[in-house]
Amino acid sequence: MPPGHLASSPQETREIAEKLACPVVVKAQVLVAGRGKAGGIKFADTPDDAEKAASAILGSKVKGEKVTKLLVEKKLDVARELYVGLVVDRPAKCYTLLASQVGGVDIEEVAQKTPEKIIKHPLEPGRSLEGFQARELAQSLGYKGKQVVELGAFITELCLTATEYDSELAESNPLVETKDGEFVAADLRMIVDDNSLFRHKSLLEESREVGHELSPLEVKAREKGLAYVELDGDVGIVGNGAGLVMATLDMIQDYGGRPANFCDLGGGANEERIANGLEIVLGNPKVKVLFLNIMGGITRCDDVAKGLLDVRKRLGLTKPIVIRLVGTNEEEGRRILQDAGIPSLETMEDAAARAVELAKGAK
């Protein structure tokens, strides 16, 4: 890594820049990729410039994430930018190391347009990359002698750390070869598999400290164990099953509406879970109408109906609701809703059309 420090104000940035001696790089610390292109990275030749750069980036949003911290680093004397990353190869069912001499901002474009410029090396399941394999890779990237050893060591270490921490992506982009022939990771990023956190408790605690850039409702949903993604439309959507909810979003969009969220109750949701989901979706003030789409398999329609009535009672619901309720115990579920004066529909198409109509009318 190049020498550098974290800053949270323009003044601090200036001080660090003075200490490191310019030129420096000022980088937004956000949990998104592609921040360079999005204006989150600026170069500065003087401490003045660094301070200005910091004022511009701090408080701004980079790909939707607000910047509160900057990393100020010594600018490297770049000879070449490489890419090295360990990714999950879904069809091959293994981890694969990708390396390229064409690193920098757009590795995806390289992968699409000139795939021959990327070297791929699949990892044997249950093992990391061996040292000799990494040195061979360094050699196929065109290096010799001492550089083979140094780059090999970096790649070996990256793979070891990535597999030890169950990462689903670990990449350095760019990995800089300086004019002195040294390798410096100018950027390093690792995404840890959420499902592995039960065996990485320390990571879980640290990530809480850093704080996620999730909306308050997304945080609440995560606590309740619900899959919820906030979008920017006005039709609130709750359903059971990831595929069904995605299909519901698509249908709302096809009918000219705009989904406000994705919310999956999961299989076998009980009354409480249903109530939690409804409460989170209705917590978004942009929601004008709620669309509840249930294909009851393991989930029982009577539980869904009871959950809905419970939320209505507790929150004093005023927003219009469209319900499509079919599957296990549907007669019982419909009867409960009908007794409470809430109509339910049978097809997804009818319900989606109705929800969009109501959202438009509610303007």
Active-site positions read 83, 171
In Å, what is the CA distance from 51 to each residue of 5, 56, 60?
Answer: 14, 9, 15
User: Looking at 195, 202, 205, 341, which residue binds another protein (CB under 8 A)?
Assistant: 195
Which of 47/296 has CB closer to another protein? 296
Which of 122/142 has CB closer to another protein? 122
Residue 250 touches another protein, criterion: CB under 8 A: yes
**Residues in region 28-47 near another protein by CB under 8 A:** 32-33
Residue 328 touches another protein, criterion: CB under 8 A: yes
x/- mask, another protein, residues 112-151, rule CB under 8 A, reads x------------xx-------------------------
Q: Which stretch binds another protein (CB under 8 A): 13-21, 74-82, 201-209, 325-333?
A: 325-333
Residue 242 touches another protein, criterion: CB under 8 A: yes
Q: Provide the greatest CA pair distance for the chain.
A: 81
Show the 3-state SS of the chain.
CCCEEEECCHHHHHHHHHHHCCCEEEEECCCCCCCCCCCCEEEECCHHHHHHHHHHHCCCEECCEECCCEEEEECCCEEEEEEEEEEEECCCCEEEEEEECCCCCCHHHHHHHCHHHEEEEECCCCCCCCHHHHHHHHHHCCCCHHHHHHHHHHHHHHHHHHHHCCEEEEEEEEEEEECCCCEEECCCEEEECHHHHHHCHHHHHHHHHHCCCCCHHHHHHHHCCCEEEECCCCEEEEECCHHHHHHHHHHHHHCCCCECEEEECCCCCCHHHHHHHHHHHHCCCCCCEEEEEEEECCCCHHHHHHHHHHHHHHHCCCCCEEEEEEECCHHHHHHHHHHCCCCEECCHHHHHHHHHHHHHHCC
Question: 10 Å Cβ neighbour count for 49?
Answer: 18
Which of 106/182 has CB closer to another protein? 106
Q: Which stretch binds another protein (CB under 8 A): 73-81, 151-159, 310-318, 347-355?
A: 347-355
Residue 202 touches another protein, criterion: CB under 8 A: no
Which of 78/102 has CB closer to another protein? 102
User: Looking at 264, 279, 302, 303, which residue binds another protein (CB under 8 A)?
Assistant: 264
Q: Which stretch binds another protein (CB under 8 A): 20-28, 113-121, 225-233, 313-321?
A: 225-233
Which of 13/344 has CB closer to another protein? 344
* Min separation Cβ 193 and another protein, Å: 5
Residue 196 touches another protein, criterion: CB under 8 A: yes
Convert 9-45 to b/e letters by CB count within 10 Å (16 or more is b): ebebbbbbbeebebbbbbbbbbbebebbebebbbebe
Residue 214 touches another protein, criterion: CB under 8 A: no
Which tokens belong to 53? 């750069």
User: Looking at 219, 298, 340, 362, which residue binds another protein (CB under 8 A)?
Assistant: 298
* Residue 17 Cα to chain centre, angstroms: 31
Residue 262 touches another protein, criterion: CB under 8 A: yes
User: Looking at 90, 113, 201, 363, which residue binds another protein (CB under 8 A)?
Assistant: 90
Residue 348 touches another protein, criterion: CB under 8 A: yes
Residue 350 touches another protein, criterion: CB under 8 A: no
Residue 193 touches another protein, criterion: CB under 8 A: yes
Which of 147/163 has CB closer to another protein? 163
CB 3 within 8 A of CB 20: yes
Residue 229 touches another protein, criterion: CB under 8 A: yes
Which of 195/202 has CB closer to another protein? 195
Binding footprint of another protein on the chain (CB under 8 A): 32-33, 88, 90-91, 93-95, 108, 112, 125-126, 163, 166, 168, 193-196, 198-199, 227, 229, 231, 239-247, 249-254, 259, 262, 264, 266-268, 295-298, 326-328, 347-349
